[in-house]
Structure 1
């Protein structure tokens, strides 16, 4: 029994360790990091810093950039003129006017020379040769020879690509998932499909077929695991499925994606929420509204932003801002609840609310970034 109890404690402690999340904050002009209790784990001491990625965070000392570990110790000493965030085990770093990829120990990755270097994301980095783009792997070798005029951001292991005016989609092995034959294509691959436009007609690309949508003038990406996405026809919004069928006719002024079985829609300049049957579950009453988080909270706006639950109850009053754009931050536009906390702005600064509507640590900061895993 003692052995079993020890193993249970070990599992809990290990889970807690791997669930560690820190947020980058600024106080009195210096950057530091807090944990989810609101306490500092790395005191504010840096003139500039970035969020953690792959267990390390970029920080500036004496005009040079390096990377610190979760204890605030230098894992890679500050010797670079500029650095990017880690992704897939590598980060771009600039030294002596030369960009190079370094791993989390600071070792340089040997790669073919290029006129321009791109960040790794989802295990690959773009590689340019002349006017064409291919893919570089984390072993420093080409996965895909430069083939396309453009390759956009990878999402869910897929990226849209183009040659000339036509678009398609590949995965991160370079395999063609959707042929380059569409005038427009969505940027997010989902099991339910990807929207596209072919011969002037909008539709859904699903299971290798293009399913036209009757008279659609605009279609949007599927969101989460929803089987419906929103589309426009004659300046009204409705919802379609993977077959391109109008499941909910376009009768709304505006719409956004379904999440937690609810979607924000606008009627006569007021936003409310419908279910997948088209029933109005939360009556139109807001000046603006966003999709629900996975945990069931959505940002809504009167003069400012607040949050409601799926019953429409206000959890956080509409008194705050929910987006920002800071020079050194990546992903600063995330809004709503992320991993159980919502980042908001007040006249006192930036802070975090939990799902009970409580201000984390009862404290505001000059700046604050969303919490990210540090493991």
Structure 2
């Protein structure tokens, strides 16, 4: 359908695909291969809900200056300019991260500010790929972590900044570090498990591997459910594999 002539290309989203002829500057084409938006961007995202976030990098007086903004399907800039912008994974993500003056906040799909620039950093769920079914993004303010709901158009801080460190929500649970150990919370901030020395995120089956606190056997491990119930016991061997697996009676 479209000749192999690009050095970089991404999947179509809402009728447009981002491509690059030189691997550096990107634009958008339609399914006929016609250029709809020219190759002028250094950073580019898929179109979601009719808009995309793009960025241009230029060297000014020996310093790299990056400008990010939102465009529509005509390639028109429809937002203010920001120092950085994240991107949305699907139509349910109504907000995205933006940065200005060294701080992070959240904007909607047309660039309107919904949560002001008050955060020092953030942690996206995107590292978990398809497992990232929840739309809560971790944010840090004054050294403490909380969560913002990116599926809320109004911009909601759903769990206040209170934790030493956090992992992103995956299948309804997030790993929290309160300085005493690790445990899980639900999307309302309720503690759902005991403390552990170490623990993995829950998988699609609703199970996680956990290393318990204060056990006399240092090799003992649990497989737990989302409420902290122990399903299996096991013992670690090399490279984290389990042996002597037995079901809790």
Q: What is the TM-score when the length of structure 1 is the normalising length?
A: 0.50
In the TM superposition, what is the alpha-carbon distance from 1:254 to its structure 2 partner?
A: 7.8
Q: Which residue of 2 aligns with 1:66?
A: 27
In the TM superposition, what is the alpha-carbon distance from 1:85 to its structure 2 partner?
A: 2.1
Cα gap change, 1:247 to 1:91, in 2 (>3 Å)? same
Any conservation in 1 of the 2:5–2:21 contact (CA below 8 Å)? no
3-state SS of paired residue (1:108): coil
Cα gap change, 1:235 to 1:178, in 2 (>3 Å)? farther
Cα gap change, 1:253 to 1:117, in 2 (>3 Å)? same
Cα gap change, 1:64 to 1:249, in 2 (>3 Å)? closer
Cα gap change, 1:68 to 1:145, in 2 (>3 Å)? same
Q: Which residue of 1 aligns with 2:53?
A: 91
Any conservation in 1 of the 2:202–2:226 contact (CA below 8 Å)? no
Residues in 1 aligned to 2:236 and 2:106: alpha-carbon distance in whole angstroms: 42
Any conservation in 1 of the 2:107–2:113 contact (CA below 8 Å)? yes
1:152-301 alignment to 2 at 5 Å? Answer: 152-154=123-125, 155=132, 156-172=134-150, 173=152, 174-191=155-172, 193-206=173-186, 207-213=188-194, 216-224=196-204, 226-233=205-212, 234-253=218-237, 266-267=241-242
Residues in 2 aligned to 1:189 and 1:236: alpha-carbon distance in whole angstroms: 25
Q: What is the TM-score when the length of structure 2 is the normalising length?
A: 0.72
Instruction: Give the one of 147, 156, 160 matched to 2:118.
Output: 147
Structure 2 residue ranges without an equivalent (≥5): 60-66, 126-131, 213-217
Q: Which residue of 2 aligns with 1:129?
A: 100
Any conservation in 2 of the 1:93–1:102 contact (CA below 8 Å)? no
In the TM superposition, what is the alpha-carbon distance from 1:44 to its structure 2 partner?
A: 0.9
Cα gap change, 1:254 to 1:42, in 2 (>3 Å)? farther
Structural RMSD (CA): 3.0
Residues in 2 aligned to 1:129 and 1:199: alpha-carbon distance in whole angstroms: 31
Q: Give per-residue Cα distances to partners, 1:216-268, cap 9 Å, x unaligned.
A: 211222223x332222243554312233233322424489xxxxxxxxx8247
In the TM superposition, what is the alpha-carbon distance from 1:50 to its structure 2 partner?
A: 3.0
Whether 1:104 and 2:83 are equivalent positions in the alignment is no
Residues in 2 aligned to 1:150 and 1:95: alpha-carbon distance in whole angstroms: 21
3-state SS of paired residue (2:11): strand
Cα gap change, 1:166 to 1:136, in 2 (>3 Å)? same
Cα gap change, 1:61 to 1:195, in 2 (>3 Å)? closer
In the TM superposition, what is the alpha-carbon distance from 1:54 to its structure 2 partner?
A: 3.5
Structure 1 residue ranges without an equivalent (≥5): 1-40, 256-264, 269-273, 279-375
Corresponding pairs, count: 217
Cα gap change, 1:118 to 1:73, in 2 (>3 Å)? same
Q: Tell me which protein shows more strand as a share of its residues.
A: 1
In the TM superposition, what is the alpha-carbon distance from 1:194 to its structure 2 partner?
A: 1.9
Cα gap change, 1:184 to 1:247, in 2 (>3 Å)? farther
